[in-house]
Amino acid sequence: MSNKDSPLFSRFQLDKLNTVINELSKETRAICVIFSHASGQPIISAGELNLKQIANLSALTGGSFAATQEISRTLKEAHPFKYLLFEGEKTMVYLSSVKENYFLVGIHPQEVPLGFIRFYFKKSINSITQILSVEAREESIKDLQNVFDAEFSSLLEEALEESFKDDLEEDI
């Protein structure tokens, strides 16, 4: 996996992703919303499910996501299928790709209209795409470097002052 496809994010990006996922969960009255890497690794989630359920669903939907990609390739579709829907008696699972290497899963009660879910998913996917953009990632890295540079400079200055303090006292 190349660096640009890595599921590692800055604190800034994770905070923004967390906000988007929590808002999506509330707006769509979801049981749970999960943002995952295509490998099935959950990144951010919001809702009523426990960590084990989230990990299991993320891995299983990751497999479904991969199978769907292969179906579109087999059918010689110009682009991979973007959405996948599972409908049960009480719940539905809505799966949408986000960029090339991520997907968003929403688990909703049957009474939530699908068009309502799709509308908010599209809005959230646009926000997530901006957060994942190369520019946003580079900006986060710059911010992180500035923090480390400032912290390092401060620590270096303190260490030098402490080192020379003993020399100055000996000279006096």
Question: pLDDT, tens digit, for every residue of 61-110?
Answer: 999 988 988 999 999 998 888 999 999 999 999 999 998 889 999 999 99
What CATH number does residue 30 fall under? 3.30.450.30
- What is the predicted pLDDT for the residue at 1? 34
Handedness of CA 14, 17, 21, 27 (dihedral sign): positive
Question: pLDDT, tens digit, for every residue of 37-63?
Answer: 989 999 999 999 999 999 999 999 999
| pTM of the full structure | 0.74
Q: Are 30 and 47 in contact (CB under 8 A)?
A: yes
Q: Are 49 and 107 in contact (CB under 8 A)?
A: yes
Q: What is the DSSP letter of 40?
A: S
Same-domain check for residues 106 and 61: yes
Question: pLDDT, tens digit, for every residue of 131-144?
Answer: 988 655 566 566 66
**Residue 154 belongs to what domain range?**
134-172
- Number of domains forming the structure of the chain: 2
Q: Is residue 4 part of a domain?
A: no
Handedness of CA 81, 123, 104, 140 (dihedral sign): positive
